[in-house]
Amino acid sequence: MIPASVQILHWSHYVAACLFALGMFGFLIRKNAIVVLMCIELMLNAVNLILVEVSMRSGHPEGLIFVIFIITVAAAEAAVGLGIILNLYRAKGTVNIDAFRELQG
């Protein structure tokens, strides 16, 4: 199982760039807070893909450890983020992020 010789896999950071771009675009454009959180997850996953590529191409497992850390933090972020969204929904009756303007300082 040594896939590093397969040249086409070296294109995976282009895939990661696409994912990151899409995630960022959705993050900036969408108004639904839940979808915004999903887009953050997409960006995190793009980073994971790059880390896997770098780690496999350089032969160090360090990148995979950061992937594991990122997955853990992403799970935490999703849990707390969704909890906050639920509470915001209870307060406002909507998850449209435009409705939460009074939070800005």
Partner 1 sequence: MREVFFMIFSIFTVLAALGVVVSRHAIFSAFSLVLAFFGLAILYLLWGTSFVSMLQILIYTGAIVVLFVFVVMLLDLKKEETLDSAKTGPLVMAGLSVWFFSLLILRALNRATYFKSTNVEAASDIKSISTLLFSKYLWGFEILSVFLLALIVSACVLARAEYMERKADQ
Q: Which is nearer to partner 1, 34 or 100 (CB)?
A: 34
Q: How far is the CB of 104 from partner 1 (least distance, A)?
A: 16
User: Per-residue x/- mask for partner 1, residues 67 to 86, rule CB under 8 A?
Assistant: xxx-xxxxxx-xxx-xxxxx
Q: Does 14 bind partner 1 (CB under 8 A)?
A: yes
Does position 52 bind partner 1 by CB under 8 A?
yes
Contacting residues for 35 by C-beta, under 8 A, at least 6 apart: 26
Q: Does position 26 bind partner 1 by CB under 8 A?
A: yes
Q: Which is nearer to partner 1, 98 or 105 (CB)?
A: 98
- Asked if residue 92 binds partner 1 (CB under 8 A), the reply is no
**Nearer Cβ to partner 1 (59/105):** 59
DSSP per-residue string spanning the chain = --GGG-GGGGGHHHHHHHHHHHHHHHHHH--BHHHHHHHHHHHHHHHHHHHHHHHHHHT-THHHHHHHHHHHHHHHHHHHHHHHHHHHHHHHS--BGGGGGGG--
